[in-house]
Structure 1
Amino acid sequence: MLTHFGESLTKLPVPAAVRAAANLWFLDLFSPGRVGVVAFFCISGFVIPYSFGGKNPALSFPINRFFRIYPAFWLAVCLATLVFAELGVRSTTPSQFLVNLTLLHRMVGVPYILTVDWTLLIELLFYVSCYALFLVKRIHSFPVHFAAMVVLLAIALGGGVYRWYHPMSSLPIGIPTYLAAMHFGALTRMRVTGYGPVATRFFPAALFLLVFGAAAANTLAYHHTKTELIGVVAANTGYLGGVALFLACVYAKLFVSGPAQLLGKVSYSVYLLHTIVLAIVIGLWPFFSSWIMALLVLVPAYFAVVVLVSILAQRYVEKPSVAFGRWGVRRLEGQARIGSKRTT
């Protein structure tokens, strides 16, 4: 939320010094948003491989993940379509809208509606890889996740070398580095839950490889780039900051207070809805007589409204959707048991 507001501030009618400070803080030296993204991916790796539960995990995992991700995403796409059209931010064709609902639009070259959904595509890729590892009974293998992380970092390095010599390339280096962070999250889970001497011995090597491999790939990819919003320093400090924040949460047990847990509960809706609210805030900016007054009024309102609508979305969309998915799994498992008894 903070980063996307800061990026917007660089395009609003504010004094040059304020615009320069926003550029420096959010785009050149440090990216709080990238910290959040990397920490999020590490947390996904910490959690998702251990989400294969129930009587038939091969059935329950994809169903539960679908109802966890898609209904709230559909709500955000619908709201974004309406709000952005009303504000004149961007128009949406019916075919673009329908393809966006699949969450695969970026893979087929269809323009996005919701700017932040690129992280969800990477999340889905990780789901697919975890599902494959589960099917071959390697989902909780430290060597497999370690090897996957190393391969992904090698791919990122190769892509970084290519972009070093092709500054106009938009080859997505972030995909392999973020997927590597997810596998590192899985390795961290194994390390802290007593996987065994292999995890204890090789976890420091995994951390070393992630930090230096991702930093090298980011440096190669961002140093000469003409296609990225943030600079090479911000790309690296943001990524390393996200890994550090994740490890601090794991080992120091940060964010265990009630308000922090509430924000954690609604964080998916915050992620989906905040750019929609931000568009409204930017639309209201010209109605204020001075930029200071706009800042004092609209920034607190921005944060408050995002949290409020996210609480409502979590309660009335996310929570019922997850419950419906679990109900569906129970029904399917029950029918499978009945069919098995009849066959017997």
Structure 2
Amino acid sequence: MKTPPFVPPPPESSLSVITRSPILTAPTGPPRLGWLDSLRGIAALVVVLDHSSRAFMPEFRQEVMPQFDLGRYGIMVFFLVSGYIIPASLERRGCVRTFWIGRVFRMYPLWAVAVAAVLALDLLGVAELRAGLGRESPATSAVAHVTLLQELLGTPSVLLVLWTLSYEMAFYLMVVALFTVRLQHRSAAVAVTLAVLAAASAVVGGLLPVSALSGAVGTGRLVAVVSVVMVLAVCCASAGSPALRVAGGVLGGVSALVLVAFNGTVPMWEGLMILSVMFLGTAVHRAENGESSRWCAVRTAAVVLVCAVGSAYWYGDDSHFTRRGWILAFLLAVLTFGAGLASRHRRVPRLLIGLGVISYSVYLVHPVLLAVTDGTIGRWRRDSPGLEVAFFAVLLPLCVLTHRYIEVPGQAWGRRLARRVRPKSAGGTER
């Protein structure tokens, strides 16, 4: 019998590599979290499209951005997801110490690799650092970046996307503060308060410039003071003494709120609204778990939506963003989160779950890859869909690797350390 000729299989796409990767076919957590992974995956892809379109799809970007701010849409979805899951993570652990260990080993390993990569590319002449990074001393910039609060300390981020991590860190500090003073269940009230303050600051916008504290005391001094305060806050909030925990939690939470309000690189109203959006996610989580009524979550969402749209309309000018683009992005982000929540009991496609699992890698690695393309093939004046697709085709398998060999080991180290230092009294009841 004649053997048929060998026919090589067709090359796999980047998406099939993701779905068939062994690290992603294993369960990623309780089934109910699949919808959160899908939202993370969608948000990450939209943010990448927003940034990569500057290089490969400039005509598309010019047409879309005034109508719909892609970046703000993806970021707001991320913030809603963080608000939904981060406080639950702390309360499930019942221990501030292990919470911070988990956050450190979740965020820093890949963060360090991404920052080191872009610095190495600059030294090799392959890519250039962002404008403004030489404004402060290397030591000041390094310390500010290590706190992850650099965007709230008047120091430009090495990678553009790192600005959102500063607001995430501020949210973590406020969540820990509420937990230590036993007010963690007041998420709806916090969200509403922040939204109203955001609206009020939009009405009186312009009284304070962005980065007002840095301008008043100097970036170097502010970085030094805040770095010491953050170390004290985290250490005290993780201590065994109840009094120290409360003092550390309050110190960190108040400091974070002050930085967001008075030293953000976005206007005060938008910084406060970002925090409000995250606490809205927390309020939704509490309603879904029976800790508050669903009407409470609905009322909270209504207030946040009205304040956000009103603030953007009142304050908006085309020098920062177009009103229509920001408002539409915000509304669609909330609708996307609501749609994910409504379909949480349905089966989620494995592809979307896989994208969600590697979303942190996608978020941090894509600006490094863009730095390489900017330094080699440059930016195009006309749309090039082929290059856009090729960028994603390189990025996604690379992110599978960074997740597998950087994120996963880092999280494993964090879990082992957390088990060693976990207080015997912790088990959801630490006070």
Pick the TM interval, shorter chain: 0.7 to 0.9
- Residue of structure 2 equivalent to 1:319: 408
CA contact (8 A) 2:55 2:379 kept: no
Match for residue 278 of structure 1 among 354, 358, 370: 370
Deviates more, 1:77-86 or 1:116-125: 77-86
Task: State how far apart, in whole Å, the 1-side matches of 2:347 and 2:268 are.
Answer: 32
Q: CA deviation at 1:76?
A: 1.1
Within 5 A, what are the aligned runs for 1:36-51?
Answer: 36-51=74-89
Task: State how far apart, in whole Å, the 1-side matches of 2:326 and 2:277 are.
Answer: 14
Task: State how far apart, in whole Å, the 2-side matches of 1:287 and 1:41 are.
Answer: 30
Q: In structure 2, give the amino acid aligned to 1:5.
A: S
- Residue of structure 1 equivalent to 2:53: 6
Q: CA deviation at 1:181?
A: 0.9
Q: CA deviation at 1:56?
A: 5.6
2:175 is the counterpart of 1:161: no
2:328 is the counterpart of 1:237: yes
Residues 152-205 of structure 1 show CA distances to partners (whole Å, capped at 9, x for unaligned) of: 112211221233789999534322111111111111112222335xx2232221
Task: State how far apart, in whole Å, the 2-side matches of 1:134 and 1:286 are.
Answer: 48
2:161 is the counterpart of 1:116: yes
Q: CA deviation at 1:57?
A: 1.2
SS in 2 for 1:163: coil
Match for residue 212 of structure 1 among 299, 302, 306: 306
Percent of aligned pairs with the same amino acid: 27
Q: In structure 1, give the amino acid aligned to 2:126.
A: L
Q: CA deviation at 1:101?
A: 3.1
Within 5 A, what are the aligned runs for 1:1-344?
Answer: 1-9=48-56, 18=59, 21-26=60-65, 28-52=66-90, 57-85=95-123, 86-90=125-129, 94-95=138-139, 96-139=141-184, 141=185, 144-163=186-205, 171-196=267-292, 199-222=293-316, 224=317, 226=319, 228=320, 230-253=321-344, 256-285=348-377, 291=382, 295-333=384-422
SS in 2 for 1:315: helix
Q: In structure 2, give the amino acid aligned to 1:299.
A: E
Cα 1:255/1:76, change in 2 over 3 Å: farther
- Residue of structure 1 equivalent to 2:237: none
Q: CA deviation at 1:296?
A: 4.1
Name stretches of at least 5 consecutive residues in structure 2 with no aligned partner: 1-47, 212-265, 425-431
SS in 1 for 2:327: helix
Aligned-residue CA RMSD (Å): 2.8
Q: CA deviation at 1:145?
A: 1.1
CA contact (8 A) 2:53 2:61 kept: yes
What is the TM-score of this pair, normalised by structure 1?
0.83
Q: In structure 1, give the amino acid aligned to 2:100.
A: P
Which of 1 and 2 has higher RCO (CA within 8 Å, sep 6+)? 2
Cα 1:58/1:235, change in 2 over 3 Å: same
Task: State how far apart, in whole Å, the 1-side matches of 2:102 and 2:180 are.
Answer: 17
Task: State how far apart, in whole Å, the 1-side matches of 2:98 and 2:170 are.
Answer: 18
CA contact (8 A) 2:69 2:325 kept: yes
Q: In structure 1, give the amino acid aligned to 2:178.
A: L
CA contact (8 A) 1:105 1:112 kept: yes
Residues 67-110 of structure 1 show CA distances to partners (whole Å, capped at 9, x for unaligned) of: 11111111111112223452352276643345423322223322
**How many residue pairs get matched?**
316
CA contact (8 A) 1:45 1:184 kept: yes
SS in 2 for 1:30: coil
Cα 1:296/1:285, change in 2 over 3 Å: farther
CA contact (8 A) 2:69 2:329 kept: yes
Q: CA deviation at 1:242?
A: 0.9
Q: In structure 2, give the amino acid aligned to 1:121.
A: S
Task: State how far apart, in whole Å, the 2-side matches of 1:152 and 1:286 are.
Answer: 42
CA contact (8 A) 1:249 1:255 kept: no
Cα 1:59/1:3, change in 2 over 3 Å: same
Task: State how far apart, in whole Å, the 2-side matches of 1:41 and 1:255 are.
Answer: 23
Q: In structure 2, give the amino acid aligned to 1:33.
A: G
Task: State how far apart, in whole Å, the 1-side matches of 2:414 and 2:209 are.
Answer: 45
